[in-house]
Amino acid sequence: MTDTKTRILDTALNLFNRAGERNVTTNHIAEGLGISPGNLYYHYRNKAAIVAALFERYQEQIRDLLTVPEGPLTWQDKMRYFEGILESMWQARFLHRDLAHFLHQDAELRRRYKVFVQDSLERGLVIYRSLRDSGLIEASDEELRGLLVNTWVLAASWPGFTHGLNPDATGDEALDRTLLRQGIYQIICLEAPYLRGEALDHLDAMKQEFRTGDTTMDLLFAAAEAPPARRA
């Protein structure tokens, strides 16, 4: 990928995450880069092509995350997965926030997303089975599949859920990231009944790492009820 194409994607991602894809035009992206719209169209024919390229980048990030290291897994490996999930939600939060819109609008993206989800769930099941083999989880195959799907749905939908309650949080990146971080705490709560061994021993430490000072509902609704920040 050329430097210009990379810069286009980086700029578009930043604008989409901050303002929402629907509020950003190709002219906004070109202006942010200091290039002409014609130069942008030379690399990407329209905004949909930019979204598709950002989705491909997101897929590669998830594929890299959903790998199993050699040897038995440890609770630190679980923390690495949690941090990776958080970072993927943060980097591609515009996709998660408006996923249904993108999938309904673009049939090809919908087809690719289905393949991506299937591949990710298969990789996730391998990870859960490795955690079970390492004595960190006790669950049947059916329970592992259910836990995996619930975890995926929570991670994929959490940015949209929090953004729906707190659309102004995009103007406060610290709050925005805190709300996403709380989503990892929810995943830990989903897994808690199945944890064994050192994963169970470190459950409180894992919760503490991602839990905010408030309960989930207090955080979500306190942020939703707060008046929007005044802009200079």
At 212 the pLDDT is: 75
CATH at residue 32: 1.10.10.60
The residue among 38 and 230 whose pLDDT is bigger is: 38
| Same domain, residue pair 179 and 208 | yes
**Are 106 and 187 part of one and the same domain?**
yes
Q: Do residues 71 and 106 share a domain?
A: yes
Q: What is the pLDDT of residue 231?
A: 43
What pLDDT is stored for residue 232 in this prediction? 42
pLDDT at 13: 96
Q: What is the pLDDT of residue 228?
A: 53
Is 231 a member of any domain? no
Same domain, 52 and 10: no
User: Looking at residue 85, what is its pLDDT?
Assistant: 92
User: Based on the domain organization, do 178 and 124 belong to the same domain?
Assistant: yes
Percent of the chain, pLDDT > 90? 75
User: What is the domain extent for residue 158?
Assistant: 48-225
Number of domain units in the chain:
2
Range in 26-40, 65-79, 120-134, 201-215 the model is least confident about:
201-215
- DSSP class per residue in the chain: --HHHHHHHHHHHHHHHHH-GGG--HHHHHHHHT--HHHHHHH-SSHHHHHHHHHHHHHHHHHHHS---SS---HHHHHHHHHHHHHHHHHTHHHHHTHHHHHHH-HHHHHHHHHHHHHHHHHHHHHHHHHHHTTSB---HHHHHHHHHHHHHHHHHHHHHHHHH-GGGGG-HHHHHHHHHHHHHHHHHHHGGGB-HHHHHTHHHHHHHH--SS-HHHHHHHHHHSPPPPP-
**Is residue 31 situated within a structural domain?**
yes
Q: What is the pTM of this model?
A: 0.86
pLDDT, one tens digit per residue, over 63-121 is 999 999 888 999 999 999 999 999 999 999 999 999 999 999 999 999 999 999 999 99
Domain match, 113 and 14 both: no
| For residues 45-49, average pLDDT | 94
> Is the same domain home to 108 and 206?
yes
pLDDT score for 217 = 67
213-232 per-position pLDDT tens digit: 666 667 677 666 655 554 44
- Say if 140 falls within a structural domain: yes
The whole-chain average pLDDT of the chain stands at 90
Residues 24 and 117 in one domain: no
Same domain, 101 and 216: yes
In a domain, 230, yes or no: no
Q: What value does the mean pLDDT take over residues 182-208?
A: 95
92 and 156 inside one domain: yes
Q: At residue 36, does pLDDT exceed 70?
A: yes
Amino acid 81: pLDDT: 94
